[in-house]
Every structure is written in C-alpha cells, then in structure tokens.
Structure 1
Amino acid sequence: MRLRHKPYAKEKLAEYDQYVVTEALGLKGRWQERFGNENPIHVEIGCGKGQFIINMAKQHPEINFIGIELQTSVIVTALEKQIEEDLPNVQLLQANAADLTEYFEKNKVDRIYLTFSDPWPKNRHEKRRLTYQSFLKVYETILNPEGELHFKTDNQKLFEYSLVSFSHYSAKLKDVYLDLHNSDVTDNVMTEYEEKFSKKGNRIYKAVLTFDSHE
C-alpha cells in the first residue's frame, strides 16, 4: 500500500512535543518521569494511525502506553487522534523496532503489542518480519520477567511462520487463537486494519507469549 505523503507531518510532530517524544535516548530508564507516575508500561510496535493504542489507553487509564511507528506520514495521524483525546497515558515515538534497547532499559516494559505488522512475504525479507528472532531478542530484553508479547494478524502465513519462530526461540505460548473474533475473548480492541479485514471475512489470529529465560 502506497503511503500518502503529508508535507506538514514533521512540523506537526515537532509542534506537539508533549505527545511525541523527540529525545527518547534521554528517557531510557526514566519513562515514568515522562508520564509522571509509576504505572505499568505497554508498548505497541507499529501503532499505525493510532486507533488501537488510543482506545486501549481510554479503557486502561492505569497503564502508560507508548506507540512506536517508523513512518512519519502514519504516526502523524495517531498524533491527530491524541490531540483530540488529550490522554495523559499516551506517548508516541518515531523509531525502528530494532533499536528499542536504546530507548528502554532491560526488564522495564510490561507488555508489547504487535498488531497487524507488515508480513514481508518474500523469503529474502524474512529478517524484516517483526517476529524474526533478532526482534524477539529485543522484546525479551526490554520485557520484565512477567511481561507478555501480544501478536495479532490476519495473515495466516505470517502467523504460522511466527509460531515456528517463537518455538525456535524457546518462547512460551500462553494463548493461541486461530479465529479470535469467534473465540471467548470479550475485551478485544481492534485496529484499523483489523476492522477492515474482519469485515471482508478474514480470520484474525492471535498469540500471547512469554520468554522461557524469564521463568
């Protein structure tokens, strides 16, 4: 999908620095200071246009949410939602998932969400998939001992690949849903893509996992 260029995006991100973190390296180990509380930290990697993280934050004011997104023209839409809602427990960070250990200290994140990540279907792009082993190492490092990774997708091949990747990495699967919307889950919050794909009849897959080294 071609991204629509938004020439105002960089300027707007810089203007609203109360919502968008511009000096994340200086916040490593000090994220609670940014939020002004000691609440748990949940990170969404690839927050896209922000629907999921904004709705999660509205439902869970007791949790601090950080939305990570690399694309400027995408994260600015999440910012626009946050400007409207003005939620004290949401911060946005434009960054690459591979670099998260530069922004978060070891064991400081309570939960990570991977929601409808790019499947990168070609074999030569395997290392770009957010469930590839190098990314799992990053997640394992920043998650605390009880921390969880929540992964959702409508892409069956990516889901199957990810289950194998989790297994090879010795991650522990807590829950696996092969048809999330027809399961007993009642508190599911949907992303923009999830709404779009589920309306088309696509099955939604979800996995929740921890890491063996944290046991």
Structure 2
Amino acid sequence: MHYDYCSNATNVIEAGKPLYHQLKGKWNQLYFENHNPIVLELACGKGEYTVGLASVFPDKNFIGMDIKGDRIARGSQAALDSGLSNVAFLRAGIQYSEEFFQARELDEIWLIHPDPQVRDRDEPKRLTNPDFLKKYASYLKPGGEFCLKTDSSFLYEYSLEMISDNPSFRIMDYTDDLYQSPLLQYHHGVKTHYEKIFVSKGYSIKFIKCIRL
C-alpha cells in the first residue's frame, strides 16, 4: 500500500519521480519555490519531528529523509492533513545523501533517536561516525546547526567524542537529561511516539547541539 501512496503523494520524492535526480542544490527553486532556510531530518521515520517543526516554523522548509516507504507515507499524510506546504519527504538511504544535497545548501540538520548501532562491527552504520559527520559538515552552511536527540547513553557519549574530534563542528550545548535542562527550549515541544515510550519507562533523553564552523 505504501508503494502506491508514495508514488502518488505530491510531497514525497522517490526514485522514478521527475524531481528525484534534479533537486541537488535546487530544493528551494524546484520544490519549495521560495528562499527560506532548509532543515533536514535524517532517518525521519514517520516524520513526527519534520511535521512538528514545520508547524512551529512556517518560515522554514523541512525535508524528512528515510528509506522506509511505509514510515514516510505516515509523515506525508500528516503534513498534508495539516496543510503544510513547507514539508517534503525524500525516500532514500542516508549513505546516498550526496546525490541530493549540495555543499552549503542546508541551514540545519536534525537526527532524532537513531539506531545506536552498539556493536563494534556496526560502527559504519552509526549516523554520527566520522564519515557521516563529514557529509553533514559539507551540506551545512557556516553557522548552520546539527542537533542530536537520543535515549542511548552509548550513542550520546560516542557522538560527543566524534563531534569534538571533528574540526568542522563546535559543540554549543549538550545535556544527558534534556527534560531537566534549560536546553529543553530547543526541543520545541515535539516528542516522537518512541520518545514518549522511552520517557515513560524512565529513560532520560540526551541532546547535543553543535554549529558548523
């Protein structure tokens, strides 16, 4: 069902659609048709953060990126139901992100509760490993922000170390308990389904905010 939905949804970009290979460096021109800042949510899942932030910031453009069509379909429908014209969903793997984003095209990148990939052999899949951080740094404008939210202490500590070692980023704020921190304002009141479950089970939410130098 998600195949039919995504192939017909006007706010979903996927292989086989006309814009799929044309948007790199031209998101504002070809899709959003404005000059507003562009915010990318990686591994967006059902798009809860993409849609939530787009509602809070109508003067920004939001792209939710995920490979799972059934998840993107839910986010797409939520955005359409809310009448949000500042939302797009890109169905593609993050490892291919350089095919869709040009250097210095993005103003913000958000990574919300990604799989921590705790096994050593899975480090290449961790979305804050040095290779991925290098990609993000390329896409972000100087002064652009990269934010991570996670319930995983392992990924939080790993990400702090990797970002600290990356000369393209400077960590501005971080906390291992977002809900008990002044940094809660940066969360903009958006909670994903899984985040609500984590919190109800007593897990603290970790948060890192850094800037592209």
Same fold (TM over 0.5): yes
> Does the 8 Å CA contact 1:98/1:138 hold for their aligned counterparts?
no
Secondary structure of 1:141's partner? helix
Q: 1:26: Cα distance to partner?
A: 0.2
The number of residues matched between the two structures is 204
1:30 matched to which residue of 2? 26
Q: Output one character per residue of 1:8-60: Cα deviation in whole Å (capped at 9) or x when no partner.
A: 011110111x2011333201111112111100000000111121111111111
1:13 to 6, 23, 27: 6
Structure 2 CA distance for aligned equivalents of residues 89 and 123 of structure 1? 39
Question: Is 1:155 paired with 2:152?
Answer: yes
Question: Is 1:205 paired with 2:198?
Answer: no
Question: Is 1:129 paired with 2:126?
Answer: yes
What are structure 1's unaligned runs of at least 5 residues?
1-7
2:197 matched to which residue of 1? 196
Secondary structure of 1:24's partner? coil
Q: 1:100: Cα distance to partner?
A: 1.4
Letter in 2 for 1:15: N
Letter in 2 for 1:193: Y
1:102 matched to which residue of 2? 99
Letter in 1 for 2:26: R
Q: Output one character per residue of 1:85-139: Cα deviation in whole Å (capped at 9) or x when no partner.
A: 2310000001111221211110010000000001111110001000011100110
Q: Output one character per residue of 1:58-89: Cα deviation in whole Å (capped at 9) or x when no partner.
A: 11100000000111222122122123123100
Which segment drifts farther, 72-81 or 121-130? 72-81
Cα RMSD of the aligned pairs, angstroms, is 1.2
> Does the 8 Å CA contact 1:101/1:141 hold for their aligned counterparts?
no
Q: Output one character per residue of 1:146-203: Cα deviation in whole Å (capped at 9) or x when no partner.
A: 1110000000011111111112223310000111011122334222221221121110
Secondary structure of 2:58's partner? coil
Letter in 2 for 1:149: F
Structure 1 CA distance for aligned equivalents of residues 207 and 20 of structure 2? 30
Structure 2 CA distance for aligned equivalents of residues 74 and 208 of structure 1? 26
Secondary structure of 1:114's partner? strand
1:3 matched to which residue of 2? none
2:44 matched to which residue of 1? 47
TM-score (norm 2): 0.92
